[in-house]
Structure 1
Amino acid sequence: MKIRSMTGFASGQGRLGVHSWSWEMRSVNAKGLDLRLRVPDWLDGLEVHLRKVMGNTLARGNVSLGLRISRGEEAAGTLTLNKPLLASVLTALAEAEALAQSAGVDLSVTSGADLLSIRGVLETTAIEDDPAPLVAELKKEFESLVSEFVQMRETEGAALEQVLRNQLAEVSRLTQLAADSAEARKPLVAAALKVNLAKVLENADGADANRVAQELAMLAVKSDVTEEIDRLAAHVTAAEDLLATGGAVGRKFDFLMQEFNREANTLCSKALNSDLTSVGLELKAVIDQMREQVQNIE
C-alpha cells in the first residue's frame, strides 16, 4: 500500500435528464476521520451510501463533501389550458361587449394573448420526479470522484515519503556521528570518573560502602549514551519499515516521533561534551522537521 497525505481535493460534474450536478471534495489534517457532507435530503439513501464509501476508503482527515443539484428549464412543467375558466371568461366577455354596444360604447378587440394572460386560464403542471435513477447515477459517479481524491492523496503522499526518507537518512547519519563522538570522549569520561571517585573516597570515611557504590554507578550511567544511540538506530529502522508497509500508518508515526524526541533529549542531557551536545541539537532539529511532516500522513 502507498503512503497517503491527509490533504486532498477532487471535483466533478454530471448530468442525467433534467438534472445537472457538481461535486467538490476536500480534506485537511485531523486526528481521526471527520466526515462533513452537504447533500440534498430528498435524495433518499444517498448520504448513507456516501458516508459508507468514504468510511471504507479513508482512515484519517477532516473531509468535506458538497453536492449541488439543479434542474433545467424543461423541468419546470407543462402548460395546461383551464377550459372551464376560459369558458366563463368568454361568457363574461360576451356579456360585457353586449352591454357596451347597447350603451353605444366601442370596446377594443380582445386578443388570444389577452385571454391567456388572465390569471388561472393557463396553468403549469409540475413534473413529479422519481429520484431513484438519479441516486443510482450519483452513487456510480461518486466512485470515480473518490478514486480521483485518493489518487491525489497518494501523489502528495509519495512526495511526503521521499522527504521523510531523506530526513531519516540524516537522523541515521547523525546517530552514527553521535556514536563516534561518544567513543571519542571515552578517555575524557574515564578521567572524569577517576576524579569523581577520588572525591568520593576522600569523603567516604564512615560512609556506607553500598552507598558509595551506588553513587559511582549513577555517575557511570549518567555519562553512558549507548542505549540512546541504539534506540535511535532502532527507531530509524522502525520508521523505514512503516514507510515500506504504507497505508494508514500516521498514528504509528506519531508515536514513533515521540520516541525519537525522547532519545534525542536524553542524549543531549547526558552529553557532557560540546561535540556530542552539538550532534544532539542537530538531531532534535531534524526530528522536529520530521514531526511536522508526519502530521500530514493518513
Structure 2
Amino acid sequence: MIKSMTGFGNAGFEDERMVIQVEVRTLNSKFLDLSIRSPRQFNDKELEIRTLVQSILDRGKVSVTIDFQSKGGTEMPVSINEALFGLFYKKYKDLAGTVGDDSQDIFKLAMQSPGVITQLAGEQRNDQEDWEQIKKVFTEALAKCNAYRQDEGNSLEEKLQRNIREIANGLKQIEAEEGNRKERIKQKIRNHFNEWLDENSFDANRFEQELIYYFEKLDITEEIVRLNTHLNYFEKCLNEENSQGKKLGFISQEIGREINTIGSKANDAGMQKHVILMKDELEKVKEQSLNVL
C-alpha cells in the first residue's frame, strides 16, 4: 500500500505547569526538507527532532511548529544583574549629560548591555523535563500526520489504478487493431510490387528489403509485450509495503517510452487515437506519482 507525501497532524497537552501545541505539515519532496519553528530554549533539540521526523515520515517537505507556554511559574527564566544594570545606567546617563542629550532610551540601552540579562541554565528551568513532555506530544502529532498520509495514499492508489487500467484498455484496443494494420501494410507492399512489376522485372532483393523494413521499422510486438510487463509491474508496486514513489516514477518513464515507440512505429490513424489517450492517462500517472512516498 502506498502513502501520500501530503499530510497533516497536530497534538496538544496542558496541565498546571505548561501548555504545548505541536503541528506537522508535509508536502512532496525528493528528500527530507525540514523546517522547524520552536521556542529558543529548545534550539539544541533540532537533531533529535530531525531524527524523529525521518524515522516516521521518511521524506518530504516537512514543516514543524512547536508552541510551548509555561504558566503559573514563580521563577523567571532569566537572571538580571541589578548592580551591573545600575552601573551601565549611571554611566550612560552621565555620558548623555556631557553632550546635553535627554534621550529616553537609556533604560533600554542599559538593559541590553552585556551581562545584564543572563539566560538561566536548563537544569534550573527544568528544560529537559519539559522537553520530554514536548517529545511525547510531538510523536503523537507525527503519528497523526503519518495516518493522514496513509488515508491520502489509499485515495491516490485508487486514482493510479484507474489510470493504469485506462492505459491497459488502450493497449488492448491497439492489439485488437494490430491484425488489421498488418493486412493493410501487406496490401500496401503488394500494391507497390504490382506497380514495380508493371514497369520492371521482378526484383527479389527489393522484395526482401521491403519485408525487412516492415519487420524492423513497423512491427510493434516487442513494444506491446514490454508495455504489458511495465503495467503489471506498476500495479504490483502499488501493493507493496515499502515506499515505492521513486520506483513508480521510473516505471512511468519506461511506460512512456514504449507508448511513444508504439505511436511512431504504428503509423496508423486508428492506433494513434488510442496512443494519444494512453499518453493523457500517463501524464496523470506521472503527476500523481510525484506525491507518492
Fold shared by both chains (TM-score > 0.5): yes
Query: What's the counterpart of residue 18 of structure 2?
Result: 19
Classify the secondary structure of the residue corresponding to 1:67. strand
Q: Equivalent of 1:235, from 230, 233, 244?
A: 230
1:257 paired with 2:255, answer no
Q: 1:246, 1:197 → 2: CA distance?
A: 58
1:189 paired with 2:188, answer no
1:174 paired with 2:170, answer yes
* Structure 1 residue 152, shift from structure 2 partner: 0.1
Classify the secondary structure of the residue corresponding to 2:35. strand
Q: Structure 1 residue runs of 4+, over 6 Å off?
A: 198-205
Query: What's the counterpart of residue 242 of structure 2?
Result: 247
Classify the secondary structure of the residue corresponding to 1:185. helix
1:137 paired with 2:123, answer no
Say if 1:202 and 1:141 are closer, same or farther in 2 by CA, change over 3 A: farther
* Structure 1 residue 172, shift from structure 2 partner: 1.4
Query: What's the counterpart of residue 53 of structure 1?
Result: 52
1:55-90 Cα deviation digits (max 9, x unpaired): 12223311111112222254465xxxxxxxxxxxxx
Unaligned runs of 5+ in 1: 78-125
Q: 2:70, 2:189 → 1: CA distance?
A: 85
Classify the secondary structure of the residue corresponding to 2:69. strand
The answer to whether the 8 A contact 2:189-2:210 is kept is no
Q: 1:32, 1:54 → 2: CA distance?
A: 12
The answer to whether the 8 A contact 1:4-1:247 is kept is no
The answer to whether the 8 A contact 1:18-1:75 is kept is no
1:28 paired with 2:23, answer no
Normalising to structure 1: TM-score of the pair? 0.74
Query: What's the counterpart of residue 148 of structure 2?
Result: 152
Q: 2:40, 2:209 → 1: CA distance?
A: 72
Unaligned runs of 5+ in 2: 77-118
* Structure 1 residue 201, shift from structure 2 partner: 8.4
1:143-178 Cα deviation digits (max 9, x unpaired): 211110100000000011111111111111111111
The answer to whether the 8 A contact 1:257-1:291 is kept is yes
Code of the aligned partner of 1:279: H
Structure number with greater Rg is 1
Q: 1:220, 1:202 → 2: CA distance?
A: 26
Q: 1:254, 1:196 → 2: CA distance?
A: 44
Query: What's the counterpart of residue 38 of structure 2?
Result: 39
Moved more, 212-221 or 243-252: 212-221
1:279 paired with 2:285, answer no
Moved more, 187-196 or 131-140: 187-196
Identity among equivalent positions (%) equals 27
The answer to whether the 8 A contact 1:44-1:131 is kept is no
The answer to whether the 8 A contact 2:20-2:66 is kept is yes
* Structure 1 residue 265, shift from structure 2 partner: 1.2
Say if 1:136 and 1:234 are closer, same or farther in 2 by CA, change over 3 A: same
Q: 2:190, 2:59 → 1: CA distance?
A: 55
Query: What's the counterpart of residue 82 of structure 1?
Result: none
Query: What's the counterpart of residue 85 of structure 1?
Result: none
RMSD (CA atoms): 2.8
TM alignment of 1:104-115, pairs within 5 A: none
Q: 1:268, 1:46 → 2: CA distance?
A: 55
